[in-house]
Amino acid sequence: MTTIAAPTSTDRPISSPNSTFRVWIGFLICLLTIGVLSAVSVLWNGLEVTNLTNQVPWGLWITVDLSAIALGAGAFSLSAVAYLLRADSFRRIARMAVFAGLVGYTSAMLALAMDIGRPDRFWHPILYWNIHSVLWEVTMCVILYSTVLGVEFAPILMESKIVSKRFPKAPKIGHTIHQFAPVAAIIGLGLSLLHQSSLGATYGVLVARPIWFKPSLPVMFILSAVAAGVTFTLGVTVFYENVVKTRQISDKLRRQIAMLAGLTMLAYLYLKLWDFLATSYYSHLPSRVEDLDLLNRIAPYGSSFWIIEVLLGGLIPAVILLTPKLRAQDKWILAAALLAFIGIVVNRWNVTLSGLIVPMDWSPGVAEVLHVNSYRPNWTEWGIAVGVLGYGLMALTLGLRFLPMFPHDDH
Note the residues at the interface with other proteins (CB under 8 A). Answer: 45-48, 50, 52, 54-55, 57-58, 115-118, 121-122, 124-125, 127-130, 132-136, 138-139, 202, 205-209, 355-356, 359-360, 362-367, 369-370
CB closer to other proteins, 303 vs 363: 363
Least distance to other proteins, CB of residue 106, Å: 19
In whole angstroms, the minimum distance from the beta carbon of 125 to other proteins comes to 5
Nearest distance from C-beta of residue 228 to other proteins, angstroms: 24
Residue 384 burial by CB count (10 A; 0-12/13-18/19+): exposed, middle or buried?
buried
Nearer to other proteins (CB atom), residue 11 or residue 48: 48
Q: What is the number of other CB atoms lying within 10 angstroms of the CB of residue 92? A: 20
SS3 assignment, position 361: coil
Q: Provide the residue type at 259 as one letter.
A: M
H-helix segments, 116-169: 124-127, 134-159, 161-166
Q: Distance (Å, rounded) from C-alpha 235 to C-alpha 64? A: 19
Question: Which C-beta is closer to other proteins: that of 323 or that of 374?
Answer: 374
From the CB of residue 46, how many other CB atoms can be counted at a distance below 10 Å?
11
Q: How far is the CB of 211 from other proteins (least distance, A)?
A: 12
| Contact present, 258 and 333 (Cβ < 8 Å) | yes
Contact status, residue 100 vs residue 75, Cβ threshold 8 Å: yes
Closest CB to other proteins among 208 and 307? 208
CB-side neighbour CA atoms (13 Å) of 17: 13
Asked if residues 168 and 118 have their Cβ atoms less than 8 Å apart, the reply is no
Query: Minimum distance between the CB of residue 111 and other proteins, rounded to whole angstroms?
Result: 13
Q: Is 310 helix (H, G, I), strand (E, B) or coil?
A: helix
Dist. CA 375–CA 190, nearest whole Å: 36
Residue number, 61 or 76, with CB nearest to other proteins: 61
Contact 195, 218 (CB under 8 A): no
In whole angstroms, the minimum distance from the beta carbon of 223 to other proteins comes to 23
Helix %, strand %, coil % of the chain (to 5): 75, 0, 25
Q: Give the shortest CB-200-to-other proteins separation in angstroms.
A: 14
Q: Least distance in Å: CB of 118 to other proteins?
A: 4
Closer residue to other proteins (CB): 160 or 380: 380
Q: Is the Cβ of residue 102 or residue 356 nearer to other proteins in the bound state?
A: 356
DSSP annotation of 210 reads T
